[in-house]
Amino acid sequence: MKFEDDENETYDEFWKDIIGPEDNLNFKQIKKELHDYAVLMDNAGKVYDYVSGGRISKVNTYPSELYKAFDDTVTEAVEDAILEHEDYLKQWVNVKVGPNTIFVFCFDEDTPKSERVKFQRTWEKAKKKFPTGVSCLMVPKNIDLTRILEEELNQLGWYKR
């Protein structure tokens, strides 16, 4: 009974004025609305597919499943980014990425904002993976890193003045 009430309410509040009264339906308008609905459903399926990393394309999927698939897709991308940085750091500075690691991103006025935001979001995810040991600093290139690193290490309990 609840579903039927919902259908009637949706019809009365949304469709009734668009398609005309029940005794005089405007079939031309109904066709337009059905076309718009079909395009919407097709596009929504494509968006579902994209944000879920190809896991979901059916628009009648529960939103909670889409959220989970999106979170999984983002988590995998972040883990890939972490592994990519781990290989780079091991290769160039012989540092193991994991707990008790500090990542420093230095930027200047020429660094695009999108790069700063991307770095910050990526390492916020890294902090979730290693909640007790990964620290991320974003600092301007002209700043004294020694003071900032001392403060960060002190907050983590690794450095005492």
Rounded to whole angstroms, the Cα distance separating 115 from 111 reads: 7
Q: Would the pLDDT of 74 be above 80?
A: no
Predicted local confidence at residue 8, as pLDDT: 87
Distance CA(102)–CA(100), nearest Å, equals 7
Mean pLDDT, all residues of the chain: 72
d(CA 120, CA 160): 27
SS (H, E, C) the chain: CHHHHHHHHHHHHHHHHHHCCHHHCCHHHHHHHHHHHHHHHHHHHHHHHHHCCCCCCCCCCCHHHHHHHHHHHHHHHHHHHHHHHHHHHHHHHCCCCCCCEEEEEEECCCCCHHHHHHHHHHHHHHHHHCCCCEEEEEEECCCCHHHHHHHHHHHHCCCCC
Per-residue confidence (pLDDT) for residue 151, from 0 to 100: 66
Comparing 57 with 71, which gets the higher pLDDT?
57
Residues 105 and 86: their CA atoms lie apart, in Å, by: 15
Q: What is the pLDDT of residue 35?
A: 94
pLDDT score at 47:
92
Give the pLDDT band of residue 161 (cuts 50, 70, 90). Answer: very low
Mean pLDDT for 13-26 is 80
Domain ranges of the chain: 2-61, 64-156
Is the predicted pLDDT of residue 29 greater than 80, yes or no?
yes
| pTM over the 0.75 mark | no
Long-range CB contacts (< 8 A, 24+ apart) of 108-113?
108/140, 108/141, 108/142
Check whether 118 has a pLDDT greater than 80.
Answer: no
